[in-house]
Structure 1
């Protein structure tokens, strides 16, 4: 048999405890629905939050790696495009020198060919000078190798070898002042130009291979970033649909708890009716 007391209202205490528990669960559900996160901070689940933060650090680092690789890719794209242009110009130089080696040409015709020849040489020089992206030029004379990040630790790096295509260099052996005035002189230039064409094509091919490697590394880093992001989501993201349903149920439970507490609180005042005549 329950005891009716004006000093201790057990029913109200139980109702209050239940309401407080409901309010706490309701606040948690509201936070998950509003933030979309099951673990928004260390107080929600310290172990999971710590793991997620570690993975977020990796994701941020991979963002820096992506930026580095994108810059390298842009520098390479400019170098490859310019290298292909230089190869085309060397082919045109070969044609001009071959025409100039024709002994049946008049002096004026050979002079006109020489002017075109020198113009092509000048275009090669200009192309090399302008083959820069963000200060990086892989085909200028004495160009340093390009080093890009390839991993989040900072110790993993991708080294891209420079390929000088400057006039008078190891690949483009023809000099900036090259010209011809006689058929024999023009013929002698053909050997130099053929060597330059062979070397240039090999250098551009090497740059193209490096570009493919950078692209492959970018793809890997992108896929790894997506996987890590998905993994963090699996750890900390809330099931918003389930929490929305829970939220509605808890709101109903809260209303019932308030009513139960009100009823329990009124039980003490009901004792006064015993003393009414």
Structure 2
């Protein structure tokens, strides 16, 4: 290679190599700082786009879990209210059975009837108070709830109401039902017994739905964890590998600086040719 004071090819090559090393070193340092091998679209557009799509899905699953949690809470409150209704009905049956005894005196029958009416009215209070965030699945006029089941909202888990108000198809005891006479007491035994069976069936259905919500919520949590792990596989840097690479590049950078320094000394060799 010809010696020239205008063009120093050795220095040019050394500088190009040093710049390439510095660029690679910068990329490695960025990966170590961010913990990601793909931190933006410029690093790898295709991988970044895939990761963003999966992040959107993972984020949407947070809304699904919130919806399922609200639904679960509403069902749990409805079950608690229904169990109270069932307990009250058991006590009402006991009172009705006792009041059907023909040997009972008038004062005792009156006292039992008052207890029965108090229990009856307590059912109305229990049903009215079984409310969570404006949702009551056991009151008259209750609407079904539908929790989100997937990330795009195309699937839902629906729970139908189980109305347990007095005088309905489940609790057939009338709002004015009494056991003031032997005849009404005897009839009330059958009515309350049927109501107990109906409430038990309603609670069983609510319990099945509650279990379904819990199982689906667990699945959504596992699905979200899998998505997050998949995103990590796509974009996360191997820090052990990057650390080793950083050491090598730092050494390479030092050698590149020395090579450039040596190449820059070439013009001094030309000067020695003109010394006498």
Gaps of 5+ in 2: none
How far the C-alpha of 1:207 sits from its partner, in A, is 0.5
Q: Provide the residue aligned with 1:233 in structure 2.
A: 232
Confirm or deny that 1:126 pairs with 2:103: no
Distance 1:16 1:233 in 2: 36
How far the C-alpha of 1:271 sits from its partner, in A, is 3.5
Distance 2:15 2:266 in 1: 14
RMSD: 1.5
How far the C-alpha of 1:126 sits from its partner, in A, is 0.8
Cα displacement string for residues 14-45 of structure 1 (whole angstroms, at most 9, x for unaligned residues): 11111111111111111111111111111111
SS at match of 2:229: helix
How far the C-alpha of 1:275 sits from its partner, in A, is 4.0
Confirm or deny that 1:268 pairs with 2:267: yes
Distance 2:249 2:165 in 1: 75
Cα displacement string for residues 142-189 of structure 1 (whole angstroms, at most 9, x for unaligned residues): 101111111122121111111001111110111222222222221221
Q: Provide the residue aligned with 1:86 in structure 2.
A: 85
Gaps of 5+ in 1: none
* Aligned pairs (5 A) from 1:182-201: 182-201=181-200
Cα displacement string for residues 167-224 of structure 1 (whole angstroms, at most 9, x for unaligned residues): 1111011122222222222122111111111111001101111111111221222222
Distance 2:118 2:81 in 1: 17
Q: Provide the residue aligned with 1:13 in structure 2.
A: 12
How far the C-alpha of 1:274 sits from its partner, in A, is 4.3
How far the C-alpha of 1:263 sits from its partner, in A, is 2.0
Q: Provide the residue aligned with 1:202 in structure 2.
A: 201
Cα displacement string for residues 214-257 of structure 1 (whole angstroms, at most 9, x for unaligned residues): 11221222222121111111111110111011112111211221
How far the C-alpha of 1:60 sits from its partner, in A, is 1.7
SS at match of 2:195: helix
SS at match of 1:127: helix
User: Aligned residue pairs: how many?
Assistant: 276
Distance 1:270 1:164 in 2: 101
Confirm or deny that 1:62 pairs with 2:70: no
Distance 1:238 1:148 in 2: 37
* Aligned pairs (5 A) from 1:126-165: 126-165=125-164
In the superposition, the TM-score normalised over structure 1's length comes to 0.95
Distance 1:170 1:242 in 2: 69
In the superposition, the TM-score normalised over structure 2's length comes to 0.95
Q: Provide the residue aligned with 1:175 in structure 2.
A: 174
**Displaced runs of 4+ in structure 1, greater than 3 A?**
269-277
Distance 1:266 1:177 in 2: 110
